[in-house]
């Protein structure tokens, strides 16, 4: 590498200057260092989720966030009655009172009109303490015995909880909600409020997620100067599992590819073909039961899931066949309105997402695990027994 290449990269590089400008742009939350303190995040959330807050978004942020969390596939086992989601869609939550640190819980929201209590334990940096979530749930039950209770465990990546009573939520869910509401209802409020919420969105993205504009700039720099700088390699070499997927398909003749993007690969099995109804761009490419590999918080994830059926009775009949094959299916999964039932998921760490060989090997590891093979074979048995 010539010294002139390094000098040209450092001196008068417009794109590099843009990155520096982005990282150093004014944000009042940076000055207050809110990103480093959970209590300050919880204070902002208490304001945003309060229907009577002076942001003038009424209940829109709260309700959209709740519906997003309740409908997540990860929370399928927690939602006891899917009809409650439809009820909440039309529920008036304007009487909600928001409490900070009530019973030592980060956020407690109470609607006497609806007989509803929502409480959120926010763990953006720290871990949950021993039996903490169970204690909080018991305290709320004791103090609101006749209320519907929605407990939410909010973390950066929506991690699992020690208590099966909690809905999992991530800051991505929160970001998507805030961005949607600000973009579509900004005329309801002042420019100052829009700026405040936008600053908060930016600080979360910058601190814990990758800003898309910054990502594009880094990638441009990598492409143009890849022989000069290696430390932006992980940005320039964005996750793309295509090469690994090609190897995987060649190895497994039973694989029926459905769809593929940079970080996800959906596929069916030839053993599932008898159940396939259509090849249009529907869920699972027409397979009522489908598999996919995906990037999940820097890990590789394998999922097997039953999707929507046109006939709800046929879906329940298939779930019953899965049970007969020895796959555990919750009774909640058979309730009217249920569309998705996850029957298997597993993850494995990836050290280098730029190494297609490592990704392929980890795909093989997940696909050849004994517990997955057992579940897959039981699913095939259920497909064979079902009249399609």
Chunked in runs of 10, what are the mean pLDDT values of the chain (388 residues)?
A: 48 55 52 51 88 92 94 82 82 94 93 96 73 92 95 86 86 91 91 85 71 64 54 51 93 94 92 79 86 91 93 92 93 87 93 88 96 96 91
Question: What pLDDT score does 282 carry?
Answer: 76
* Cα–Cα distance for residue pair 121/153, rounded to 1 Å: 5
Question: What pLDDT score does 232 carry?
Answer: 39
Question: What pLDDT score does 199 carry?
Answer: 78
Question: What pLDDT score does 125 carry?
Answer: 62
Contact in structure between 322 and 363 (CB atoms under 8 Å): no
- Spatial CA neighbour of 322 closest among 377, 372, 258: 377
H or E stretch covering 248: helix 242-251
Question: What pLDDT score does 145 carry?
Answer: 93
Question: What pLDDT score does 293 carry?
Answer: 97
Q: How does DSSP classify residue 284?
A: G
Question: What pLDDT score does 31 carry?
Answer: 44
Question: What pLDDT score does 290 carry?
Answer: 95
Question: What pLDDT score does 306 carry?
Answer: 94
Question: What pLDDT score does 159 carry?
Answer: 78
* Cα–Cα distance for residue pair 31/207, rounded to 1 Å: 13
Contact in structure between 255 and 248 (CB atoms under 8 Å): yes
């Amino acid at each position: 590498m010539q010294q002139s290449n390094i000098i040209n990269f450092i001196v008068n590089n417009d794109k590099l200057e843009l990155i520096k400008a982005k990282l150093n742009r004014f944000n009042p939350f940076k000055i207050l260092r809110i990103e480093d303190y959970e209590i300050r995040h919880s204070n902002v959330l208490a304001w945003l989720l309060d229907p009577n807050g002076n942001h003038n978004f009424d209940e829109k942020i709260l309700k959209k966030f709740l519906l997003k969390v309740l409908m997540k596939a990860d929370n399928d086992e927690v939602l006891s009655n899917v009809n409650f989601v439809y009820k909440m869609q039309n529920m008036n939550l304007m009487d909600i009172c928001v409490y900070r640190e009530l019973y030592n819980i980060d956020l407690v929201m109470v609607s006497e009109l609806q007989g509803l209590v929502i409480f959120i334990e926010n763990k953006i940096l720290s871990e949950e303490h021993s039996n903490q979530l169970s204690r909080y749930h018991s305290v709320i039950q004791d103090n609101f015995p006749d209320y519907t209770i929605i407990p939410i465990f909010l973390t950066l990546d929506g991690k699992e909880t020690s208590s099966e009573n909690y809905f999992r939520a991530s800051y991505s869910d929160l970001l998507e909600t805030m961005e949607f509401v600000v973009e579509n209802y900004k005329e309801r409020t002042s420019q100052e409020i829009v700026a405040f919420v936008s600053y908060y969105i930016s600080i979360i993205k910058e601190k814990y997620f990758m800003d898309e504009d910054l990502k594009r700039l880094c990638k441009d720099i990598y492409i143009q100067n890849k022989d000069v700088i290696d430390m932006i390699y992980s940005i320039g070499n964005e996750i793309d599992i295509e090469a690994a997927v090609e190897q995987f398909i060649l190895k497994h003749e039973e694989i029926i590819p459905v769809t593929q993007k940079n970080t996800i690969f959906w596929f069916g099995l030839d053993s599932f073909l008898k159940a396939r109804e259509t090849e249009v761009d529907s869920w699972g490419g027409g397979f009522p039961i489908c598999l996919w590999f995906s990037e999940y918080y820097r890990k590789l994830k394998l999922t097997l899931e039953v999707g929507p059926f046109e006939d709800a009775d046929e879906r329940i009949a298939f779930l019953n066949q899965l049970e007969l094959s020895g796959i555990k299916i919750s009774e909640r999964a058979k309730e009217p309105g249920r569309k998705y039932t996850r029957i298997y998921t597993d993850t494995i760490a990836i050290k280098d997402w730029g190494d297609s060989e490592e990704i392929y090997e980890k795909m093989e590891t997940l696909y050849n695990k004994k517990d997955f093979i057992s579940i897959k074979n039981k699913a095939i048995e259920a497909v064979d027994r079902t009249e399609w």
